[in-house]
Amino acid sequence: MNGIDLLPLAVGHMIGLGAIGSCLGIGVMAAKYLESSARQPELMDKLQGKVFLLVGVLDGAFIIATGIGLWFATANPFKG
């Protein structure tokens, strides 16, 4: 078994684990945001922009991993 046979497995891991990590990160961050806004409602407006920025960063990491995985799957850069 050579490396090119394991490419679909590697691409699946890149996309799947990236999606799981992104979803868990956004879920934990949203829960903490709701908890902090319930404790101090006057900080809600200041925290909302930071939450949206971090959601974009987390989703950006997943989208980049998906793009690289699909590039590996279609272009086959490791094929000899």
Place of tokens 């101090």: 40
d(CA 11, CA 18): 11
The torsion angle over the Cα atoms of residues 61, 66, 68 and 74, rounded to 10 degrees, is -170
Q: Is 59 a catalytic residue?
A: yes
Of the candidates 36, 44, 55, 59, the residue annotated as catalytic is 59
Catalytic residues: 59
